[in-house]
């Protein structure tokens, strides 16, 4: 005779399998976000859907910011503040492969050089960068370096980079839900459709919570700066190309990152972090 199964055993097994799959999904989402947002050599044997990856953007952004902030803090004791800030920003570019910077440059070229919606969308597909793109990249790097250099000598610089990178990616996630896509292809179209409300909300809360833990009440003006920066880019994108594209999300991240660093540099002039 075969072994008789205890009552309820199949249900417990199914629950156990469901729990295991849920855990794997969470881990794969994190791994996918690292793979998507950085040049860290993470490999997976299967495609991870955007719906699993995008909610992790804020957390992975915070980790990127921690690495960049660590470079700034470490070098701040060895070299002048401006050099430490510049090398920290360069470290961020190396970690991410200038992923978001590329989007900012494409948007600047398209919005600055295109006269019609069709022409702007055409420019977005061109991998080459023109004068507007180079100017936007230069402005982004200069703002970040100067803002960070002003606070390298204080503990604020680490919190500033974590906040800037975390809120920058979180802003991109929120932007995906704020406007229709400009075309039916690309990240701007696919990710926005695939996102589930609850995982996305939890991801946003996680990213903001990390920033709040480091900055205390500063998180309020930082969130306000991030919201204004995001709204400005999204409204401009809707006016120029009728909606969102992957490059628009990159521009959202960059403008938000710059805005957060500038606000932190101003706050640090008059206030200390709560844990100082």
CA atoms of 3 and 52, how far apart (whole Å): 40
Position of tokens 């919005």? Answer: 111
Q: What is the pLDDT of residue 197?
A: 87
Q: Does residue 134 sit within a domain?
A: yes
Q: Does residue 28 sit within a domain?
A: no
The three-state secondary structure class of 140 is helix
Average pLDDT, rounded, for the chain: 88
Q: What is the pLDDT of residue 43?
A: 80
Tens-digit pLDDT profile for residues 143-157: 999 999 999 988 799
Tens-digit pLDDT profile for residues 85-94: 999 999 999 9
Q: What is the pLDDT of residue 185?
A: 66
User: What are the tokens at 76?
Assistant: 């701040």
> C-alpha angle 266/97/253, rounded to 5°?
40
Q: Does residue 231 sit within a domain?
A: yes
Pick from 97-111, 116-130, 140-154: least confident: 116-130
Mean pLDDT of 172-197: 77
> C-alpha angle 270/162/74, rounded to 5°?
85
User: What are the tokens at 43?
Assistant: 């490999």
The three-state secondary structure class of 182 is coil
Mean pLDDT of 189-200: 75
Mean pLDDT of 123-127: 88
User: What are the tokens at 174?
Assistant: 């929120």
Q: Is residue 232 predicted with pLDDT exceeding 60? A: yes
* pLDDT more than 90, % of the chain: 68
Q: How many structural domains comprise the chain?
A: 1
Q: Does residue 162 sit within a domain?
A: yes
> Which pLDDT band holds residue 1 (cuts at 50, 70, 90)?
very low
Q: Is residue 184 predicted with pLDDT exceeding 80? A: no
> Which pLDDT band holds residue 272 (cuts at 50, 70, 90)?
confident
Q: Does residue 37 sit within a domain?
A: no
Q: What is the pLDDT of residue 11?
A: 56
Q: What is the pLDDT of residue 14?
A: 52
Q: Does residue 172 contact residue 252 with C-beta atoms inside 8 Å?
A: yes
Tens-digit pLDDT profile for residues 24-82: 555 788 999 999 999 999 887 677 888 889 999 999 999 999 999 999 999 999 999 99
User: What are the tokens at 140?
Assistant: 């982004």
Of 210, 245, 248, the closest CA to residue 61 belongs to 210
**Residues forming beta bridges with residue 244, ordered by sequence position:** 181
Q: What is the pLDDT of residue 92?
A: 98
Mean pLDDT of 83-104: 97
Polymer length in residues for the chain: 276
Domain range for 180: 53-270
Q: Does residue 41 sit within a domain?
A: no
Q: What is the pLDDT of residue 18?
A: 42
Q: Does residue 35 sit within a domain?
A: no
Q: Is residue 129 predicted with pLDDT exceeding 80? A: yes
Q: Is residue 180 predicted with pLDDT exceeding 80? A: yes
Q: Does residue 10 sit within a domain?
A: no
């Amino acid at each position: 005779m075969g072994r008789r199964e205890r009552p309820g055993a199949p249900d417990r097994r199914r629950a156990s399998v469901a729990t295991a799959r849920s855990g794997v999904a969470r881990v794969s989402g994190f791994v996918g976000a690292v793979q998507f947002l950085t040049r860290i050599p993470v490999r997976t044997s299967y495609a991870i859907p955007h719906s699993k990856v995008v909610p992790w953007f804020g957390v992975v952004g915070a980790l990127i910011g921690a690495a960049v902030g660590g470079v700034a803090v470490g070098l701040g004791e060895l070299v002048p503040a401006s050099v430490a800030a510049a090398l920290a920003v360069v470290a961020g570019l190396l970690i991410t492969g200038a992923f978001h910077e590329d989007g900012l440059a494409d948007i600047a070229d398209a919005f600055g050089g295109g006269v019609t919606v069709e022409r702007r969308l055409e420019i977005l597909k061109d991998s080459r960068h023109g004068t507007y793109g180079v100017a936007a990249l230069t402005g982004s790097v200069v703002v970040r370096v100067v803002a960070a250099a002003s606070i390298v000598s204080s503990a604020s610089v680490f919190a500033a980079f974590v906040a800037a990178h975390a809120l920058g990616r979180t802003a991109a996630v929120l932007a995906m839900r704020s406007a229709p896509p400009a075309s039916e292809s690309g990240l701007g179209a696919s990710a926005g459709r695939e996102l589930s409300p609850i995982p996305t909300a939890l991801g946003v809360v996680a990213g903001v919570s990390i920033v709040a833990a480091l900055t205390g009440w500063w998180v309020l003006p930082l969130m306000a700066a991030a919201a204004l920066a995001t709204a400005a880019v999204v409204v401009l994108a809707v006016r120029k190309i009728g909606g969102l594209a992957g490059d628009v999300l990159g521009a959202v991240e960059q403008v938000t990152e710059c805005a957060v660093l500038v606000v932190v540099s101003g706050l640090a002039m008059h206030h200390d972090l709560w844990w100082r």
